[in-house]
Structure 1
């Protein structure tokens, strides 16, 4: 097992213009003081230690140890890149890009290829973002419109009840189309023209606009629309509209043989009989489309994706090369799926998906994942992004989910940012993993007690911060109702706090009846086994009975 952190290439390692927003200082790393709007258009990525960006290095260091420990149980190899406010604070690789010669047999150690920070990975469904950016470019050029039926551009698409499906519904996965073509394109059709016809002939599973269904067919159809309205193939549109302007030199479809030594292998496939797939797209339907498909097919590096992510944060521009207007970027980060609350979606980008965005999740946090083990999370509120690229399908796809690793990358960046108590003092922090409980308990109090404190809560909705009281020495505990004030605070009496997405401190008040046996209070933070946000902070605890001591279990002073 090896872990590597190399210097940035020339495309990234240049001086950069710092970003600011109203009321925020340059290099601000305050998670509880989110930015508004885009970063300055001149922001250019620059390598630096976490401290240079105002970050605590400890969570990032801990994540890198875990990244290496997940080899080989989750993936053979991985590359990660974390950035905040224009500073690339972590760029690390671990494990192997090529480890197996077939589905079960490892290569001799001297023939294995280590993962590097410039390893090229099959992005799988992150490719959908490139298709979506091209779609927004054509929207801005006036060649397509969101509310126009797809059949206006592709009349053949109207067959089988699809006449009402719009461009917007393709880009937000609300078209009603099935997840995948059935039969698959490679199995059911002999050539690309017949495969394109199969896409056009697909029968929807539900009426347009009535449900969310993540679908490769949406983006395969979008590819055909884009090619029709521009007269150009998708790979040319991506190259001319995205990768060349942004100088993403290692990004594209069907990478050349000259780069094979840097490409991570994916699956050993017996059906179709492709052998060990390396340098050719893993997804069979994209392979059947010649390697260029709306839903998959793009290969890239963490460095190139970092440039794309910063361009998004900059409002669509990087180094003076604009690929989208600010309005175009806004269309990718505004939620079109409000009628499907668990499936928030901009045009192409998923929004606020805590299951892989972890502590960076929020209403306008943008991202996507890929089947090969890839993920991109862009958080405009902290002007940060987390990129994780792995080859978890090497040598087979029967491997554990990478969602824990995806969340951990975002979590490390979120916890590296500062949360400061409103009064400027220290706060108690708990940010433990899923399925655990932490407690912060007072000493024995006497009489009825008025309690006030400040709380910063950034959790999954089922991960709860509760104030509890005990009058029998801690044998039993009862939740104390509290009232909450502040930006986005829940109305009425609350017995638990959770699910905050506004990134603001709340003022909490409670009245607790005393007992002749004395009174104990505790703050209990409980997470379920699935996933969690950044965690919780409690500060400025004031008791009407005067000061007390605290016994922390799973809490620390921050």
Structure 2
């Protein structure tokens, strides 16, 4: 096992050695050991700066699973929502009565469409436009991964709490689990550099355009965290640690390791699914900025990899090939 763990860690560090990413922070959990490490640089441009332990990364879409998904599961467990709660019952501008919370979080809602001048809209205008997108004939037939579903789910959370969704995530998820550094309002000096916007380098400011527009009302992106934060969350998810007031119970976590789509399209609630070497379900999710996360509860293993693969350029296709190879190695 030690040799295999060392091989996996070397494969992750190879992302830096081959200049696929500036730096990487990662954690690897097995029943025998937990490895946490960081390697490489914070930035290449405008100058090379060192990567430090526990620096904060723009989690991008990992916000969907750590925050919004866990919060929805909490509401379902508390009886405030149901798996088949209809979106139209909560959002006044959403008209299709077929679409449920589960459709949103499995990306099978069929919601698609073009929003004219999207980047010029205010937050209220964008939220209304997203609610008015049509449900296409892909409903329940296709997994079409978008941020629309989790954003609409975030609006439902706001209806129930009468607070911005990011405020609720902080109060109901981050604080009870005592994640040491996770925040929607990071100190830029603690963050890795991502990409350029309007002539300056983003550092502690969200990379995702919709999250930039929506601010605290975005349930799909916006969270910044260290690898230590995700390690705490993962160990709790695996049942390895206890917390006094957990957001959800272990029975709810166990329930996630199955396909939630009607046509067995390979999606859990919020999470993607992969199969390990003995054909058991593993939770998986990625983040656009260069993050990926796997949780294998049956084998008590997990992998967290955080990077800023969008630095200095978003067009970094090689990263995806290397990421998939690392994921395959973990699943084996």
Larger helix share, 1 or 2: 2
Report the Cα distance in structure 1 between the residues aligned to 2:114 and 2:226, rounded to whole angstroms: 29
Q: Give the one of 289, 302, 305 matched to 1:385.
A: 302
Structure 1 consecutive aligned stretches of length 4 or more whose deviation exceeds 6 Å: none
How far does residue 267 in structure 1 lie from its aligned partner after superposition?
Answer: 0.9
How far does residue 171 in structure 1 lie from its aligned partner after superposition?
Answer: 1.1
Q: Is the 8 A contact 1:184 1:285 kept in 2?
A: no
After superposition, the C-alpha distances for 1:83-106 in whole angstroms (9 at most, x for unaligned) are 123841x212111112212xxxxx
How far does residue 411 in structure 1 lie from its aligned partner after superposition?
Answer: 5.4
Q: What is residue 254 of structure 1 aligned with on the other side?
A: 185
| Map 1:20-31 → 2, pairs under 5 A | none
3-state SS of paired residue (1:157): coil
3-state SS of paired residue (2:61): helix
| Map 1:159-174 → 2, pairs under 5 A | 162-174=96-108
Q: Give the one of 322, 334, 359 matched to 2:258.
A: 334
Q: Is the 8 A contact 1:360 1:379 kept in 2?
A: no
Q: 1:118 to 1:86 in 2, by over 3 A?
A: farther
Q: 1:363 to 1:213 in 2, by over 3 A?
A: farther
3-state SS of paired residue (2:181): coil
Name the structure, 1 or 2, with higher relative contact order (CA <8 Å, separation 6+): 2
Q: 1:329 to 1:68 in 2, by over 3 A?
A: closer
Q: What is residue 22 of structure 1 aligned with on the other side?
A: none
How far does residue 410 in structure 1 lie from its aligned partner after superposition?
Answer: 4.7
Q: 1:94 to 1:278 in 2, by over 3 A?
A: same
After superposition, the C-alpha distances for 1:71-92 in whole angstroms (9 at most, x for unaligned) are 253111111110123841x212
- The answer on 1:134 being equivalent to 2:71 is yes
Q: What is residue 177 of structure 1 aligned with on the other side?
A: 111
Report the Cα distance in structure 2 between the residues aligned to 1:398 and 1:231, rounded to whole angstroms: 39
Report the Cα distance in structure 2 between the residues aligned to 1:291 and 1:227, rounded to whole angstroms: 10
Report the Cα distance in structure 2 between the residues aligned to 1:73 and 1:382, rounded to whole angstroms: 32
How far does residue 338 in structure 1 lie from its aligned partner after superposition?
Answer: 5.2
Report the Cα distance in structure 2 between the residues aligned to 1:68 and 1:145, rounded to whole angstroms: 43
How far does residue 301 in structure 1 lie from its aligned partner after superposition?
Answer: 1.0
| Map 1:108-123 → 2, pairs under 5 A | 112-123=48-59
Q: More deviation in 317-326 or 292-301?
A: 317-326
Q: Is the 8 A contact 1:253 1:298 kept in 2?
A: yes
- The answer on 1:369 being equivalent to 2:286 is yes
Q: 1:150 to 1:296 in 2, by over 3 A?
A: same
Q: Is the 8 A contact 1:333 1:349 kept in 2?
A: no
- TM-score normalized by structure 1? 0.56
| Map 1:40-119 → 2, pairs under 5 A | 55=1, 57-71=2-16, 73-85=19-31, 87-88=33-34, 90-101=35-46, 107=47, 112-119=48-55
Gaps of 5+ in 2: none
The count of residues paired between Structure 1 and Structure 2 equals 330
Q: 1:193 to 1:361 in 2, by over 3 A?
A: farther
Q: What is residue 279 of structure 1 aligned with on the other side?
A: 204
Q: 1:274 to 1:311 in 2, by over 3 A?
A: farther
Q: What is residue 146 of structure 2 aligned with on the other side?
A: 215
Q: What is residue 158 of structure 2 aligned with on the other side?
A: 227
How far does residue 291 in structure 1 lie from its aligned partner after superposition?
Answer: 5.5
Report the Cα distance in structure 1 between the residues aligned to 2:61 and 2:182, rounded to whole angstroms: 14
- Which has the larger Rg? 1
Q: 1:170 to 1:78 in 2, by over 3 A?
A: same
Q: Is the 8 A contact 1:84 1:383 kept in 2?
A: yes
3-state SS of paired residue (1:266): strand
How far does residue 156 in structure 1 lie from its aligned partner after superposition?
Answer: 1.6
